[in-house]
Amino acid sequence: MSSGSTVFKCGRTINYFTRGIHSNMVYVKMLGFLALGILFSYGLGWSCLLTTLAVVAIYLVTGGWRFANVVFKTLPRDLRAFIALINLKLKVRKYSQNNYSIPRLFNETLKKHPNKTCFIFEDKRLSFQDVELKSNAVANYFLDNGFDKGDVVALLFENSPDLPIFWLGLSKIGAIAALINYNLKDKSLEHSINASHAKALVFSGAFTQEVNDVLPALSSSVRLFVTAHSGPLDIRAVPIDPLLEKTPTYAPPILKTEFRGPLFYIYTSGTTGLPKAAIVSHTRFFYMSYGASLFMRMTGEDINYNPLPLYHSAGGVVGVGQAFLRGMTVVVKKKFSASRFWDDCVQHNCTVAQYIGEICRYLLAQPYKESEKRHHVRLMFGNGLKPQIWEDFQKRFGVKLMGEFYGATEGNCNVMNTENRIGAVGFTSMILPSFYPVTLIKVDKDTGDLIRDRNGVCVKAKPGEPGELVGKIIKGDPLREFDGYVNKQASEKKLAKDVFQKGDMAFLTGDVLEMDEYGFMYFRDRTGDTFRWRGENVSTSEVEAVISNVIKFQDAVVYGVEIPGTEGRAGMAAIVDQQNNLDLSQLNQALQRSLPPYARPVFMRIVKEVDMTGTFKLKKTDLRNEGYDPSMVKDRLFYLNPKSGQYEPLTQAEYSAICSGKIRM
């Protein structure tokens, strides 16, 4: 090889290194680490080798060591995720191209395990064949009674396998089920049924009164069917159980479906405002449930304990999907019971279990039981596990892996923590972030508006900075699309333009997260829940976690309330104290130890109970609206006296003094 050629190639290699030093593009930086291998491959000589090593040393000394450290620490994690994601993408592409559907995928599972138990519910076991026959009867009945592809049937059921069996049957004829939250009443229930444009409502007999209450607000064209009914009916509903018993159970005619078409509607939890119907497509159902199985390394041999409501995505998609797509046996509970949790896991030999919201805290609050050490649960997966109790939970109950994840039913930026990283809700690759384009963007602390650079593109939050989680929307990629809500206006509110680059679109989660240097993400708060006090942002979830630990894991809700003439919102906590034994002095001392002054609640409200959504999220909208006026609130109220530094009873006189500014908080 000529010396000129050698010098040219050496110079080109050095150029790659220097580009890596000055560029923010990760893949360019990686060229620097590959260059050494290239040198040996081409035999460029010792002089070029020494020069290259010098450039590498300069790169590392001037900050490149940080990226090298990130690569070293996260490459195995990213490779595992990369392989799982490629597997998921290939299957989605295959099923999309061949117009698969969830009923068709269930049929493939059925062929493998016809006699295996699909669902365990109370003292009953339903095999995959049992599910097939009953869902066929549902399909044939509605088909024979004039229901067709695209028709919506609202389902209001108690938690039982009947709910997934009914929506599976409806999907076999192309009808769309609307899964109604069974906790809803009055206007919320009326709104959910009407918003779905349902042609029929099938409800459990347990909700006869609730349906009767909203009947005047429903269209007379909505057909009513009741299941699991006993006793006389005072509304125009048809008992459907005896009709299904007479309906043929053979498979209905094969329907041409689209894998990206709607499977059913799931409603948002409704922590604020009325619930919105989110569209769950066949594709979304598949990648949410199958993806969780891949990333968490679950198999069809596992037995899943699912005490979650089946009208919600965690229990009804991720949980039920393990049965329908993976052939796993799923234990369904009518209602979550903290006292029965580990007993049930032992009884059914469960190997994985699901949680959401405050379930883990409720389990920790239970007295010791021998069954909590005899179970075989190796994995628990869900979302809402507070980092403050994570380690204590694993130590006490011996669960090896907590699979915390973050995801919205309608969103396109689901992330999952597969590494047992305490507090993390998931991660994104720092080596190749473009492969799964989700990120955190800066938001104005006061207005909530997205912060943009001079070109109008959103500014990404750096490691350690809070930001709203967003996911890039890519048309044609089912994993990156946004299916939206039934209400188009509600869908548009969740979208933003020019987020990653000019001309793109992204889904806004409305959640504030924080990312560390390794790409692990940590939930901080809902954008609407974080409030500003004394010039600082207060995370309600962090304050709630501190209070909960002090009061032995009882319920506590934190929110911001306005004080006339004062900037921002003062913190207020509603604390459940059923036994009237709360020691406010002890709580105050704990808050002083654990929280900065601006984060300590100014007002306390002692309540007997706090309303909760069906997904175990504590409601705070009504509490926030009621505020701290003793003439309006009948519960015991206290305020943090600025002179004594102690929580003292809030009377009408103190309330007036606070509002007039005589007592300055």
422-460 tens-digit pLDDT: 999 999 999 888 888 899 999 886 667 899 999 999 999
Q: What is the mean pLDDT of residues 252-277?
A: 79
pLDDT at residue 618 in the model: 57
Judged against a pLDDT cut of 50, whether residue 99 lies above it is answered with yes
Instruction: Tell me the Ramachandran region of residue 336: left when phi exceeds 0, alpha when psi lies from -120 to 50, beta otherwise.
Output: beta
pLDDT at residue 357 in the model: 72
Judged against a pLDDT cut of 90, whether residue 150 lies above it is answered with yes
Residue type, 54: A
| pLDDT band (50, 70, 90) for residue 63 | low
pLDDT at residue 4 in the model: 44
pLDDT at residue 324 in the model: 98
Residue 531 and residue 550: Cα distance in Å, rounded?
22
Residue 363 and residue 386: Cα distance in Å, rounded?
13
Judged against a pLDDT cut of 60, whether residue 34 lies above it is answered with no
Closest CA to 115 of 125, 130, 106, 127: 127
Most confident of 93-102, 210-219, 319-328, 571-580: 319-328
Q: Would you say 379 and 298 are in contact if contact means Cβ atoms under 8 Å apart?
A: yes
Closest CA to 338 of 312, 305, 360: 360
Residue 198, token pair as written in the block? 């349902």
Judged against a pLDDT cut of 70, whether residue 323 lies above it is answered with yes
Q: Would you say 288 and 321 are in contact if contact means Cβ atoms under 8 Å apart?
A: yes
State whether the Cα torsion 24-27-33-37 is positive or negative. negative
Q: What is the mean pLDDT of residues 210-220?
A: 90
Distance of CA 333 to the CA centre of its chain: 20
Tell me the average pLDDT of the chain.
85
Q: Scanning the structure block, which residue is given the tokens 């306390």?
A: 604
Q: What is the mean pLDDT of residues 346-357?
A: 94
Judged against a pLDDT cut of 70, whether residue 519 lies above it is answered with yes
pLDDT at residue 410 in the model: 75
Judged against a pLDDT cut of 60, whether residue 615 lies above it is answered with no
Closest CA to 546 of 583, 600, 619: 600
| pLDDT band (50, 70, 90) for residue 26 | very low
Strands, sheet with 636-640, edge to edge from the N-terminal-most edge strand: 556-561, 570-576, 603-607, 636-640, 647-649
| pLDDT band (50, 70, 90) for residue 10 | very low
- List CB contacts of 310: < 8 A, sequence separation 6 or more: 157, 159, 160, 163, 164, 179, 316, 319, 320, 332
pLDDT at residue 537 in the model: 64
pLDDT at residue 534 in the model: 66
Judged against a pLDDT cut of 50, whether residue 20 lies above it is answered with no
Residue 291, token pair as written in the block? 């993806």
Residue 228 and residue 616: Cα distance in Å, rounded?
26
375-389 tens-digit pLDDT: 999 999 998 888 888
- List CB contacts of 490: < 8 A, sequence separation 6 or more: 276, 484
What percent of the chain stands above pLDDT 90? 52
Q: Would you say 600 and 638 are in contact if contact means Cβ atoms under 8 Å apart?
A: no
Residue 229 and residue 239: Cα distance in Å, rounded?
7
